Amino acid sequence: MLQRKPGSRVGDFDTATILRGSMLALAATGVVATALELATLRHWTTTTQLIPWMVLGLVAVGVGALIVHPSRRSIRAVRVIACFAVASGLYGLFVHVKSNYDAAVLDYRFTDSWPSMSLVAKLWAAATGKVGPSPVIAPAVLSQCAISLALATLRHPRLVPAGALNRLLEIKPTMQHDAMPVGH
């Protein structure tokens, strides 16, 4: 996956390649960490709770595809996976906020004040985790993993036609030294 610039030393990679690898590492780390977190929470008791497991599996497949076989087709498939995972993370965010909102009347700290609170105050309490059992930021990690995965595909060398890539790699002087006026 990592490719050296033509004429460079071993281990000397271009910035885009390093950033692409870093985004893949960030996505892979996010997948592993999120899977561990979901497992410790036993996040599999309902059908809805299985959604992040499926999305994590898809993101893991996307990471693997970019590492093992980064073809034009797999890069495009990874982008579709990333879009789906971002949407799934946003859906999870909504579900968690709604769960917290619905549980607020059962919270002893809000039992008396909840009915008189404004809608904005209720949503703020549910979204910030002041009320309810669901961690609100947790589903956003799925979106973060997906965005990292998508960023790893940006300007990927496999998306550039071979002839165009060869033309890009040719070093052409932009200005002739002998054409510059002396003294200027």
pLDDT of residue 102: 94
**Does the pLDDT value for residue 30 go beyond 60?**
yes
DSSP string, 36-88: HHHHHTTTTSSHHHHHHHHHHHHHHHHHHHHHH---HHHHHHHHHHHHHHHHH
- Greatest mean pLDDT among 19-28, 104-113, 155-164 lies in 19-28
pLDDT of residue 16: 83
The closest alpha carbon to 2, from 15, 16, 17, belongs to: 17
User: What tens digit of pLDDT does each residue of 120-179 get?
Assistant: 999 999 999 899 999 988 899 999 999 999 999 998 888 776 665 556 556 555 555 555
pLDDT of residue 26: 96
**Does the pLDDT value for residue 43 go beyond 70?**
yes
d(CA 127, CA 140) in angstroms, rounded, equals: 12
Q: How many CA atoms lie within 13 A of 95 on its CB side?
A: 15
Q: What is the pLDDT confidence band of residue 79, given thresholds at 50, 70 and 90?
A: very high
Q: What angle do CA 37, 38, 44 make, to 5 degrees?
A: 165
pLDDT of residue 155: 84
pLDDT of residue 170: 64
In Å, how far are 29, 37, 148 from 81, measured between CA atoms? 17, 22, 12
* Percent of the chain whose predicted confidence (pLDDT) is above 90: 62
Instruction: Let me know: does 30 contact 63? Beta carbons within 8 Å.
Output: no
pLDDT of residue 100: 94
The closest alpha carbon to 59, from 84, 93, 23, 96, belongs to: 84
pLDDT of residue 159: 79
In DSSP terms, 13 is beta-bridged to 4
**Does the pLDDT value for residue 4 go beyond 70?**
no
pLDDT of residue 111: 86
pLDDT of residue 143: 94
- Helix ranges restricted to H, the chain: 15-40, 47-68, 72-103, 119-127, 138-151, 162-169
pLDDT of residue 157: 82
d(CA 142, CA 88) in angstroms, rounded, equals: 8
Least confident among 55-64, 70-79, 109-118, 156-165: 156-165
Read off the pTM. 0.75
Mean pLDDT for the chain?
A: 85
Q: Report the residue count for the chain.
A: 184
